[in-house]
Amino acid sequence: MRGTRPVDAMFNRRAMIAAGGGAMLFGGLITRLFQLQIMEHERFEVAAAENGVRLDLAPPQRGRILDRFGRPLAAHRQAGRVSFVREQSDDIARLLSKLSDQIEISPEQQARLIRDSRRHASFQPTIVRSELSYEDFSRLSVLAPSLPGLQVEMAPTRSYPRGRDFAHVLGYVAKASETDLVRLSEGANAQERAAVRRLFKHPDMRTGRSGVERFAEEWLRGEAGFRKLETNAAGRIIREFDDPSLAPKPGRDLYLTVDAELQKFAIDRFGKESGAAVVLDIETGDILAFVSTPAFDPNDFVNGISSADYAVLRDDVEYSPLYHKAYDGTYPPGSTFKMVVAAAALEAGVIDPNERIYCPGHYRFGNNTWHCWKHRGHGSVNMHWAIKGSCDVYFYEIARRMGIEKIADISKRFGFGQRWELGLTGGRSGVVPNDEWKRATRGEPWYEGETLNVGIGQGQVSTSPLQLAVMSARIAAEGKVITPRIIGEGPRPESDIPFDAPLDPEFMKRMKAGMYGVTSEAGGTALRSGDLGLGGPRLAGKTGTSQVRRISAAERRSGILKGGAIDRRLRDHALFVAYAPHDDPKYAISVIVEHGEGGSKAAAPVARDIIAEALRLDARRTPAYTRTASLGGSGGAGGGGR
């Protein structure tokens, strides 16, 4: 059959042509292979052996983080570094023992370094020490030529010139771990993943682990480039070519809204106490100070913190330095919550501000008795007096009258129960309890008695210091929607703030009057803190005590009410929220002193001093960056971010 029909003949003919064409293509490929492998072999061999010119990946310089006036909070400095390259040394053990004559390296460390060096490619350096003193650096530089494979050089290192001051806000950078690499190459294709991996495996490359450093990673990172180097056979760099087209593109600077001087003042003012403070610009919502103390030094993390040092930070449960108390910490707001309850009662219409409620020092409801902090009682008080004297009985009564749902609704309009997205890692929403919440979390209905506790800011309700600062800012601004922000110029956090209905200005004026009474009228609970010491402007605020544990009836009888005898960890937290100046509010603040006991005694003086310093520094004056988005009112969208 084969070849009998004309079509078969044609097929055969054409098949031969096609096969011939294919063979020619194969021949072409083999020729090309010959060209590359044999004729140009030398050129490529040179390139491969990294003799002559080689391209080294050059990591970009990470953008700085600056405060509102352009003071660097995260920058870089050159640090002396000694490392070795496995493939260039014939005896690493000997090299390390020579090195240990100059700088201290224990035998265990030497063994670990040798192990480490086998985990990556033999041409990549293994860092022995990153923070060489000037003396060590010069001594080792002299030694280096006699020890092949030893590299002593200056390398850029991320530095945090303000140390602990901004630890929680900035976070820190560290070498990318496997987890980081996965996160950093999310959504990338195989080729991009390889590029990310290559870049972050570079010994000088760091990635943001927490705080702004992590949130703004892409903004700060920049783009990698290459260094064009000429090296000799031993791999030592002979010279570097200047090729601008290959240079890495540095990352962008980022401005925060904070004032570094105010932040430092605030931290110093806390002294040995642990606590948090938030200062807000009432007009713009700019966070001027965002303090959580004690803190850690992010510089310790840049080159890897030792596990022992880390354990010290991690295991300090009493002072919890790793924890961002101002943003991640939630506490019952105590009496600072009374403005919210009062405003809710006014909105609900369950009380006239002039109506008087009699406080005998305790309050009966059902079979239980609730106590007022003032055992003798406040007597007959109206709303103004109830706020400035912080009368618990008054608030039990109005809370009971309106019920929990009314309180919950207005709490949300003050910004409670939601996480403010600032562009930092962490941040907690706290709890604004109501019937639905309790059924969802505890599986049981809300009891009216619990409403009384929430009425004085205890029990289930919990708030962060940031939320309390926003609350006092909204009161001071007479109900205007204030949205906190900490990134001045940089990537915009995408926030969807669900509750931003303005509050009734008339009610807010009453709250302001009450807060002024607290610090400046007879009967106020924080009279000593009203004067800012600036000869004129006064502060308005509200004290609070956040219960750490319930005082038992037995203790109440035996009279141990104040905590001198109680272990520190069981003492109550002291709170104070305030704004100043009273007649023309510019700053709002919230302060918590952990286990400080009384708001007026421990927290109010701290808040007063910080806010006075803010006024003295004029911390809210025009920042160094240009504002790109609409501020104030509706909260910022658009501009600069991605």
| Dihedral angle sign, alpha carbons of residues 581, 585, 587, 593 | positive
Contact between 34 and another protein (CB under 8 A)?
A: yes
- Tell me the window of 9-17, 76-84, 324-332, 359-367 that interacts with another protein (CB under 8 A): 9-17
The nearer residue to another protein, 9 or 534, going by C-beta atoms, is: 9
Contact between 367 and another protein (CB under 8 A)?
A: no
Contact between 55 and another protein (CB under 8 A)?
A: yes
The nearer residue to another protein, 188 or 637, going by C-beta atoms, is: 188
In the list 145, 147, 226, 445, the residue contacting another protein (rule: CB under 8 A) is 226
Q: Are 539 and 519 in contact (CB under 8 A)?
A: yes
Instruction: Tell the smallest beta-carbon distance from residue 204 to another protein (Å).
Output: 17
Would you call 36 helix, strand, or coil by DSSP? helix
| Interface with another protein: number of residues (CB under 8 A) | 47
Q: b/e string for 270-308 if b means 16 or more Cβ within 10 A?
A: beebbbbbbbbbbbbbbbbbbbbbbbbbbbbbbbebeee
Contact between 501 and another protein (CB under 8 A)?
A: no
Site string for another protein, 233-252 (x = CB under 8 A): ------------xx------
Contact between 45 and another protein (CB under 8 A)?
A: yes
The nearer residue to another protein, 38 or 238, going by C-beta atoms, is: 38
Cα 490 to its chain centre, rounded Å, is: 15
Would you call 527 helix, strand, or coil by DSSP? helix
- Tell me the window of 190-198, 267-275, 371-379, 461-469 that interacts with another protein (CB under 8 A): 190-198
What is the CB neighbour count within 10 angstroms for residue 267? Answer: 22
In the list 40, 230, 436, 618, the residue contacting another protein (rule: CB under 8 A) is 40
Site for another protein in 589-608 (CB under 8 A): none
Contact between 230 and another protein (CB under 8 A)?
A: no
Candidates 449, 604, 413; CA nearest to 527 is: 604
Contact between 194 and another protein (CB under 8 A)?
A: yes
Alpha-carbon span 466 to 609, nearest angstrom: 18
Alpha-carbon span 608 to 586, nearest angstrom: 14
Alpha helices per DSSP H over 254-368:
260-270, 299-302, 307-315, 338-348
Instruction: Tell the smallest beta-carbon distance from residue 200 to another protein (Å).
Output: 13
Site string for another protein, 195-224 (x = CB under 8 A): x-xx-------------------------x
Q: Are 123 and 50 in contact (CB under 8 A)?
A: yes
The residues that bridge with 290 in the sheet, in sequence order, are: 278
The nearer residue to another protein, 14 or 569, going by C-beta atoms, is: 14
Site string for another protein, 287-326 (x = CB under 8 A): ----------------------------------------
Instruction: Tell the smallest beta-carbon distance from residue 198 to another protein (Å).
Output: 7
Site for another protein in 539-598 (CB under 8 A): none
Instruction: Tell the smallest beta-carbon distance from residue 60 to another protein (Å).
Output: 12
The nearer residue to another protein, 120 or 568, going by C-beta atoms, is: 120
Cα separations in angstroms, 299 against 14, 109, 170: 74, 22, 11
- Please provide the DSSP assignment of 453-505 as one string: HHHTT-TT-BB-HHHHHHHHHHHHTTT-----B-EEESPPP-------PPPPH
The nearer residue to another protein, 44 or 447, going by C-beta atoms, is: 44
Instruction: Tell the smallest beta-carbon distance from residue 26 to another protein (Å).
Output: 5
Residue 231: both structure tokens together:
């090296």
The nearer residue to another protein, 176 or 604, going by C-beta atoms, is: 176
Contact between 119 and another protein (CB under 8 A)?
A: no
Contacts of 455 (CB under 8 A, 6+ apart): 341, 395, 396, 398, 399, 400, 407
Q: Give first-to-last CA distance, the chain, whole Å.
A: 71
Cα 122 to its chain centre, rounded Å, is: 37
Instruction: Give the interface with another protein as residue ranges (CB under 8 A).
Output: 1-2, 5-8, 10-12, 14-15, 18-19, 22-23, 25-26, 29-30, 32-34, 36-38, 40-41, 43-45, 47-49, 55, 121, 123, 189-191, 194-195, 197-198, 224, 226, 245-246
